[in-house]
Amino acid sequence: MSEPTHAATPETLSPQAQRELIEELLKKVGMNVTDIEEDFVNYLYNMLGRNLASEPDYHYKALAYAVRDRVMKLWKQTWAGYHQEKSKKAYYLSMEFLIGRSLSNNMLNLGIEDKVDLAIYKLGLALEHIEDAEADAGLGNGGLGRLAACFMDSCATLRLPVMGYGLRYEYGMFKQLIQNGHQIEAPDHWLGYDSYPWEFQRREYTRVIRFGGVSRPYRDHQTGRLTVRWEDTEEVLAVPYDVPIPGYKNNTVNTLRLWSAQATEIFNFSEFNRGSYFEAVSSKAEAENITMVLYPNDASENGKELRLKQQYFLVSASLQDVVAQWIEQHGHNVDDFDTHNVFQLNDTHPSLAVVELMRILIDDLGLEWDKAWKITSNCMAYTNHTLLPEALERWQVSLFQKLLPRLLDIIYEINTRFLKQVAMKWPGDNDRLRQMSVIDEHQNVRMAYLAIVGSFSVNGVAALHSQLLKDGLFNDFYQLWPWKFNNKTNGVTQRRWIASSNPGLRKLLADTIGEGWITHLDELTAIEQQIDNHSFRQAWIEVKRNNKKRLAQLVQQDTGVVFNPDSMFDVQVKRIHEYKRQLLNVLHVIHLYTRIKRGDTANWTNRCVLIGGKAAPGYFMAKTIIKLVNNVADIINNDPEVGDKLKLAFIPNYRVSVMEIIAPGTDLSEQISTAGKEASGTGNMKFMMNGAVTIGTLDGANVEILEAAGEDNFFLFGLKTDEVAELRHQYHPQSYIDSDHDLQSVFNLLESGHFNHFEPGLFDDLINGMKSPGDPWVTLADFRSFVDAQQQAATAFRNVERWTSMSIINSARSGVFSTDRTISQYNEEIWKLTPVGDGD
Ligand SMILES: *Cc1c(COP(=O)(O)O)cnc(C)c1O
């Protein structure tokens, strides 16, 4: 380094002047149309080296950077505010964040959509096309992951100091292609060739995660205290990438921190030095494998070693991060840690957080067990998402021994102490001990039990679901700790699911009742006062019609099937799973087809049925259901006798950005799971908000949707939870076929091979499943009441006045299904955080 050689060396500014200069320079990131235009052009031409004639992908990138610049200052302010106030913070730990697209949502929340729209329009471009170029961030399977994304939006909008922690999968949810009616999975490299514009690598917060090795007891020579060291481990780096989460026009930007696995340099060096170049590179690849791909199983576990590694990786990185921030602020005294921090576990996937926090407190910070346990169990809260036994996570003790030996020690100790408590409560009751043990008879760790034992709050995600947890699955634990159990009915954010995805409805609402509903969805009830207002009703019909046209266009583009917007749009989109009963839907479609074929079409309601969703790649039955839908669609859509009376399409690659077009264009929302199996559902809420009427069973949040909408505005059918449970003892599907001509006709057609002429036996497993007394989903038991409810829906739809009222009422009464309500309840009853800042 040499001194500057200028004759007159310029003086360095004082720190104060430096701050003022920076402040002044940052003001250039203005909010006017010309400011945005300038930055967009600058990014497009100078950074990306492209021009106005380039592909929309470049326009998207340039605009994303320009919008992103408008987030940065608020983001830093929010972060600083949270740290200054030393306020209590919550951390949402989730293996999935199904974010979808961010551009339009961020513009909406920053309140700059109109300006951006104008800036882009002046340059001869269409904002819609630019938005369409954004790939979905598909870091989740379905409802659970989308819930986490909606929660982040509401936390920011409510100015709550909540940070999301997740994984930055290189490959998100697979892309679903349909070839010859079959699902084909293609990799989803959502990050694109360069980088994702909404993320910021934060190398300085890198954490070291350990796997393998052994745990060795060891006596500290000075204190004489017996401690344990976890040694000879392999280490992997967790590098954070931060994604900004802006609240709605409130100057708050929260953080979603996603961890990416990287090999440690040290660990590679030693292998290189030993001359094993190949091994060094392979072990680097192996380390980085941890965050390579999202497991595409929804509501079923797969027991793969790599999945457990992912779970621990998330939990360890996040807890180390929080504890490091604590130490930075408060020093090594963790006495008040549990009054300042709370962790919400999104299902059992991150439930190792209980064990990892114990490890950190005991091994790293030297706490005694009792104190560590008091802290840990006071700051963990667990959300259960399913009652399906196949979805309950269990991990083999032997796998823990191999991957996480130190954690296994701690799990054993937790269990030993817990079982003593059980024995105190129920002396001599060995069945209880066996039933409640965190380690089961087959040497598996029951992750749900671990989560319950280690948490102060256990919640289900809809009223019915939370009740069933107390009565059934977790009844023993409920008897022991009734105060832990509570309900938090899911929701969805109206910012994305109305304001951003349904601009027509947004405008009508704004013109009628203003925009208060964007942050206070209850205000939607005010539109019920317009229910007799002719021009409002006409406008309502017009909005729905335009949305149906938009949806029809998408369907035609993706499937070739032509939907007539005059028909009823009858939609079931969600993961393909037997319990969700897409099969029941198909049986009804086949039933309508047989009616058309026999000329039973008096007072017919034309109907377009849309089904969509991904099947887990290893889930044979679900994949066969997709094939069946496509084969039935082929027959129906190509039968000239059917015409507009009935259409069926399977929309490929169902995802968030597709749902944004589907929900606004739907008339009838299919929520037809076997009662007692769907924990909540959130698709049902998106549809309701957008004025669809539900046909559904008394399951999950349908119960609450029915209660809100009123029974005149909901098509209820099917057995109730207790009736299903009762029936399962003596279920005779054949008797339903024998006693119902319609069902008989459907099965005759199915079994004749009408839908699989050149593929004999293709659907035998599906058919036999439904006809088996062991069918857990009792599909045939609900056929008759489903068909009757469908007939009621069809009749109601033909009465435009009636249907319009039902549609308006559904929307008007959907306020309770905002995640703003859900998150307020999490906060008031579990987290107890104080909103930060004043929002101006
Ligand atoms: C809302 C949503 C889901 C959840 O749908 P359910 O009907 O509640 O199962 C799944 N996937 C996507 C893409 C969604 O947007």
C-alpha pair distances (Å), 518 with each of 160, 524, 709, 789: 17, 9, 20, 33
User: pLDDT tens for residues 753-773?
Assistant: 999 999 999 999 999 999 999
Which residue blocks in 133-172 are alpha helix, DSSP H?
Answer: 143-157
**pLDDT band for position 1 (cuts 50, 70, 90):** very low
User: pLDDT tens for residues 299-308?
Assistant: 888 889 999 9
Cβ distance 89 to 834 under 8 Å? no
End-to-end CA distance of the chain: 46
C-alpha pair distances (Å), 128 with each of 45, 60, 136, 141, 503: 21, 10, 15, 26, 12
Mean of the per-residue pLDDT values of the chain: 95
Cβ distance 88 to 123 under 8 Å? no
Give the β-pairing of 668-671 and 89-93: unpaired
Region 593-606: what's the mean pLDDT? 98
Active site residue 588: no
User: pLDDT tens for residues 143-181?
Assistant: 999 999 999 999 999 999 999 999 999 999 999 999 999
Active site residue 534: no
Cβ of 655 below 6 Å from ligand 1: yes
Centre of ligand 1 from the C-alpha of residue 493, in Å: 13
Which residue blocks in 331-404 are alpha helix, DSSP H?
Answer: 337-340, 353-359, 369-379, 397-403
Atom nearest to 656 CA in ligand 1: 13
Q: What is the rounded distance in angstroms from the CA atom of residue 437 to the CA atom of residue 450?
A: 9
**pLDDT band for position 23 (cuts 50, 70, 90):** confident
Cβ of 656 below 6 Å from ligand 1: yes
Cβ of 630 below 6 Å from ligand 1: no
Query: Residue 573's beta-bridge partner residues?
Result: 612
Which residue of the set 101, 284, 385, 537 is catalytic?
A: 385
Chain-centroid distance, C-alpha 646: 32
Active site residue 741: no
Region 776-782: what's the mean pLDDT? 98
Which residue of the set 101, 257, 580, 607 is catalytic?
A: 580
Strands (E), 119-181: 137-139, 162-167, 175-179
Which residue blocks in 495-617 are alpha helix, DSSP H?
Answer: 503-513, 534-559, 582-597
Question: What are the domain boundaries of the chain?
Answer: 10-83+112-130, 85-101+136-490+826-831, 494-718+785-817
Q: Whose CA is nearest to atom 5 of ligand 1?
A: 683
pTM to 2 decimal places:
0.97
Q: What is the rounded distance in angstroms from the CA atom of residue 492 to the CA atom of residue 833?
A: 21
Instruction: Determine the pLDDT at residue 624.
Output: 98
Centre of ligand 1 from the C-alpha of residue 667, in Å: 17
Instruction: Determine the pLDDT at residue 81.
Output: 87
User: pLDDT tens for residues 385-443?
Assistant: 998 888 899 999 999 999 999 999 999 999 999 999 999 999 999 999 999 999 999 99
Burial of 595 (0-12, 13-18, 19+ CB in 10 A): middle
Cβ distance 415 to 355 under 8 Å? no
User: pLDDT tens for residues 651-708?
Assistant: 999 999 999 999 999 999 999 999 999 999 999 999 999 999 999 999 999 999 999 9
CB-based contacts of 177-184 (< 8 A; 24+ apart in sequence): 177/652, 177/653, 178/626, 178/630, 178/650, 178/652, 181/626, 181/627, 181/630, 181/631, 181/634, 182/623, 182/626, 182/627, 182/630, 183/614, 183/615, 183/623, 183/626, 183/627
Cβ distance 704 to 463 under 8 Å? yes
Instruction: Determine the pLDDT at residue 7.
Output: 59
DSSP state of 492: B
CA atoms within 13 A on the CB side of 333: 3
Cβ distance 473 to 451 under 8 Å? no
Of all residues in the chain, the percent with pLDDT exceeding 70 is 98
Q: What is the rounded distance in angstroms from the CA atom of residue 10 to the CA atom of residue 7?
A: 9
Instruction: Determine the pLDDT at residue 192.
Output: 81
When comparing pLDDT for 26 and 209, which is higher? 209
User: pLDDT tens for residues 710-738?
Assistant: 999 999 999 999 999 999 999 999 999 99
- Given a cut of 70, whether residue 266 has pLDDT beyond it is no
User: pLDDT tens for residues 277-289?
Assistant: 777 777 788 888 9
Token output for 336? 């008040």
Q: Whose CA is nearest to atom 7 of ligand 1?
A: 683
H or E, element range at 246: strand 234-246
Spell out the residues 6+ positions from residue 570 whose beta carbon is closer than 8 angstroms to its own. 607, 608, 609, 610, 667, 668, 670, 793
Active site residue 574: yes
User: pLDDT tens for residues 70-110?
Assistant: 999 999 999 988 887 788 999 999 999 999 999 999 999 99
- Of 173, 573, 678, 680, the one to substitute when testing ligand 1's pocket (max ligand atoms within 8 A of C-beta) is 573
CATH architecture of 494-718+785-817: 3-Layer(aba) Sandwich (3.40)
- Of 659, 662, 674, 819, the one to substitute when testing ligand 1's pocket (max ligand atoms within 8 A of C-beta) is 659
Instruction: Determine the pLDDT at residue 25.
Output: 86
C-alpha pair distances (Å), 82 with each of 205, 325, 580, 666: 17, 12, 42, 42
- Of 190, 493, 575, the one to substitute when testing ligand 1's pocket (max ligand atoms within 8 A of C-beta) is 575
* CATH number attached to the domain at 85-101+136-490+826-831: 3.40.50.2000
Which residue of the set 264, 348, 376, 682 is catalytic?
A: 682
Active site residue 686: yes
Centre of ligand 1 from the C-alpha of residue 601, in Å: 34
User: pLDDT tens for residues 456-470?
Assistant: 999 999 999 999 999
Chain-centroid distance, C-alpha 528: 31
Region 566-584: what's the mean pLDDT? 98
Centre of ligand 1 from the C-alpha of residue 804, in Å: 25
Cβ distance 163 to 326 under 8 Å? no
